[in-house]
């Protein structure tokens, strides 16, 4: 997986591994990303199933509880089929927008 860190977020893009393998790798390296806002970029993956995306639900909830953002980029997925606790967007720019909105919500005490 390719990890790119900026001042405000960490962008993770899988290489030639499956979504399940990426999830396992993230869990194993969880301490490395603690306290960081994560953008997981699955935009190059084709035919991702809902059950694969749901693997990230607990991680997403955990990040929210810790005051950080967790966003998945996944094209062709209906957000109506996913729980509200999971931020899934189709583009990188929308992922950045989610990070900004989450920061505003945290500042307002939500």
3-state secondary structure of 99: helix
Residues 6+ apart with CB under 8 A from 56: 23, 26, 40, 70, 72, 86
pLDDT at residue 30 in the model = 82
φ, ψ dihedrals at 13, nearest 5°: -125, 125
* Rg of the chain, C-alpha, whole Å: 13
Helices assigned H by DSSP within the chain? 19-28, 50-54, 57-65, 92-108
Q: In this structure, how many other beta carbons lie within 10 angstroms of the beta carbon of residue 32? A: 10
Assess contact for 42 and 90: CB atoms under 8 A: no
Give me the domain span that covers residue 99: 2-108
Tens digits of pLDDT across the chain (110 residues): 889 999 989 999 988 888 888 888 888 888 888 889 999 999 888 778 888 899 999 989 988 888 899 999 998 777 788 888 899 999 999 999 999 998 898 888 76
pLDDT at residue 15 in the model = 84
Domain count for the chain, please give it: 1
Assess contact for 75 and 89: CB atoms under 8 A: no
pLDDT at residue 29 in the model = 86
User: CATH no. for residue 91?
Assistant: 3.30.750.24
């Amino acid at each position: 997986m390719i990890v790119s860190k900026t001042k405000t977020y960490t962008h993770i893009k899988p290489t030639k591994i499956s979504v399940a393998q990426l999830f396992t790798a993230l869990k194993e390296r969880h301490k490395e990303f603690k306290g960081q806002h994560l953008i997981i970029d699955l935009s190059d993956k084709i035919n991702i199933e809902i059950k694969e995306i749901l693997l990230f639900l607990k991680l997403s909830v955990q990040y929210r509880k810790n005051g950080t953002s967790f966003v998945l980029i996944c094209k062709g997925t209906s957000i109506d089929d996913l729980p509200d606790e999971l931020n899934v967007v189709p583009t990188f720019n929308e992922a950045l927008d989610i990070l900004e909105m989450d920061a505003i919500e945290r500042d307002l005490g939500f």
